[in-house]
Amino acid sequence: MNVVVIGGVALGPKVACRVKRVTPEANVTLVDANALISYGGCGIPYYVSGDVSDHTQLQETSFHMVRDVEFFRTCKDVTVRTQTRALAIDRKAKTVRIQGPDGREEDLPYDKLVLATGSTPRVLPIPGRNLPGVYTVSNLEAAVQIKEAVASGNVSSAVIVGAGFIGLEMAEALADMWGIETAVVEVMDQVLPGFISPTLARIAQHHMEEKGVAVYTSEKVLAMEGDGRVTRVRTDKRELAADLVILAVGVVPNDELARQAGLTCHERGGIIVSKTMQTSDPDIYAGGDCVVVENLVTGKPGYYPLGSLANRQGRVIGTNVAGGRETFDGAVGSFILKLFDYAFAGTGLSLPMARREGFDAQSTQVAQFDHAHFFPKKDLVTLEIVFERGTGRVLGIQGACANGDSLKARIDAVAAILKFRPTLADISNLEVTYAPPYAAAMDVLNMAANAADNILHGRCDPISPEDFMQLWQNREQENILCIDCREWGNAEPYVTKHPEFWKNIPQGQLRDRLAEVPQDKKVLLICNTGGRSYEAQRILHAAGRRDTLDVPGGMGLLRQCGFDPAAE
């Protein structure tokens, strides 16, 4: 059996090796247009930063062998042809026309063909995009060029266009390790648009700004300019100095080869595959960044250019090419991102995404320690859970924490069950491991579902951090009063600074001080993380006051967003 694999980064090598393990007698040829293959693309920002010292480390196995042409020949019995481009597929003759590094063309026969053509960075039609010093993170070769430019000492300022995963990771790499003056420009009104809510985006942006990265949202890049080399970026609001520019405005699937061969592709891009990862031609498989698969939350096609998915899909394809019958059902869309001292992670749908998909969705935030509150070492975890009104179905969860391992554990727990359409009750009662050094007895994950359930059943009337901050900025016109439900030691700076708008009534005293809650003001209840303010609202509900608003996450969440009335 002749198996031809086009593409040699993540999925392609996985398929090739799996086929040889299951069917050792198969003749497997892997073709890639570049010289460097089989590398961890998600490690590129860490190579640029210097955390990974040499690019070959991204190509190494766990036992430090470099996955190059010779490695695949001797260790895997796979023929690899680098710097070789696939030009066309003849489905009737079952051949692939290729062009080698010397320019000569030939036809490779196949019994089974695998398309692992990946994706290409989206390049906007911006003047100056072809100037020297303007890069995209397209492959490992491009990363080497960026690293060499930075290491030369000639880059003192950089602009990242796009505040998605790659853009923010590259911003950290340049600012943190190299001390380069770095700015991020994003046309949307928040960082990580679509992936996280405005609240979590505000936390991410505030943290990056604390670390010296300038972040400009709702801003459009008009041109990259310079005499022979880029020296500045012009936006619709300002001009930014730039010795280096990285365009990171997303990727598009490389489906042109498939389209030209008549394979079915999605109208918005990407090869359509079955659950067995077969294209519309049963002898041609595809996976990784060039395909669309089912979103297991919405039931609609989704695009997930993630190395983790590519590797899992590669194993399924390799098994099926070798005669098996495994399936890849789809994805819920899980991610985790390191930004300086914080991790941001999520699975499923964010609130903006859920509403765009037509769900009657709502979300709420909680902030709680990842370990028992009495344990000496602990970090605050902020979780935002997205749910469907009426049914209580959980649509997604996202969060932020300085302890990435703690955050990942909570997100992974939800990711594992999200395709089974869990409800808030399922997450509220989700069994997780407990010991004080690792978690609280009532885990923050359970607490997030409980908080959402309280909203769903009318026991809590919340206000989002964004709406709270907006009201506070217009506090005189809005006639608000914040009732601080903490003890005086916590509340005193706020009451002293803003006596007309901030009043301290500890939650334990509220029943005896109900008369002090004014009838003629918009009352907002707040504490450290939301627990006491929620209980205060329940006390007021019992007393007949249904016109108050609770701030979930409390001052802990607001400070993470960079907002603290006592510091004004």
Domain that holds residue 232: 134-249
pLDDT digit string (tens) for 323-352? 999 999 999 999 999 999 999 999 999 999
In the predicted structure, residue 123 carries a pLDDT above the cut 90:
no
Catalytic residue among 17, 42, 265, 527: 42
What is the per-residue pLDDT for 463?
96
pLDDT digit string (tens) for 234-275? 999 999 999 999 999 999 999 999 999 999 999 999 999 999
Indicate the residue among 391, 426, 456 that finishes a domain. Answer: 456
CATH (domain of 513): 3.40.250.10
Q: What secondary structure does DSSP assign to 470-517, as a single string?
A: HHHHTHHHHTEEEEE-S-HHHHHHHHHH-TTTEEE--GGGGGG-GGGS
CA separation (Å) from 454 to 330, 350, 428, 442?
Answer: 32, 20, 11, 16
Which residues, in sequence order, are bridge partners of residue 503? Answer: 483
Is 42 one of the catalytic residues?
yes
User: What percent of the chain stands above pLDDT 90?
Assistant: 97
The kind and range of the H/E element at 316 are helix 307-321
Q: Please indicate, yes or no, whether residues 443 and 343 belong to a single structural domain of this protein.
A: yes
What is the per-residue pLDDT for 567?
86
**Any domain includes 62:** yes
**Any domain includes 327:** no
Indicate the residue among 321, 348, 369 that finishes a domain. Answer: 321
Q: Please indicate, yes or no, whether residues 157 and 261 belong to a single structural domain of this protein.
A: no
Provide the number of structural domains found in the chain.
4
3-state secondary structure 89-114: EECCCCEEEEECCCCCEEEEECCEEE
> What is the Cα–Cα distance from 535 to 525, expressed in whole angstroms?
10
Q: Please indicate, yes or no, whether residues 234 and 262 belong to a single structural domain of this protein.
A: no
Q: Is 24 exposed, middle or buried (0-12, 13-18, 19+ CB in 10 A)?
A: exposed
Q: Please indicate, yes or no, whether residues 365 and 394 belong to a single structural domain of this protein.
A: yes
What is the per-residue pLDDT for 568?
77
CATH (domain of 261): 3.50.50.60
Q: Please indicate, yes or no, whether residues 360 and 219 belong to a single structural domain of this protein.
A: no
**Any domain includes 29:** yes
pLDDT digit string (tens) for 198-225? 999 999 999 999 999 999 999 999 999 9
**Any domain includes 207:** yes
Q: What is the pTM of this model?
A: 0.94
Indicate the residue among 413, 432, 456 that finishes a domain. Answer: 456
Find the mean pLDDT for residues 101-126: 96
Q: Are 332 and 297 in contact (CB under 8 A)?
A: yes
**Any domain includes 127:** no
**Any domain includes 392:** yes
Q: Please indicate, yes or no, whether residues 257 and 227 belong to a single structural domain of this protein.
A: no
pLDDT digit string (tens) for 133-177? 999 999 999 999 999 999 999 999 999 999 999 999 999 999 998
Q: Please indicate, yes or no, whether residues 339 and 426 belong to a single structural domain of this protein.
A: yes
pLDDT digit string (tens) for 384-424? 999 999 999 999 999 999 999 999 999 999 999 999 999 99
**Any domain includes 329:** no
Closest CA relative to residue 455, chosen from 481, 424, 479: 424
pLDDT digit string (tens) for 292-314? 999 999 999 999 999 999 999 99
pLDDT digit string (tens) for 502-538? 999 999 999 999 999 999 999 999 999 999 999 999 9
> What is the Cα–Cα distance from 228 to 225, expressed in whole angstroms?
9
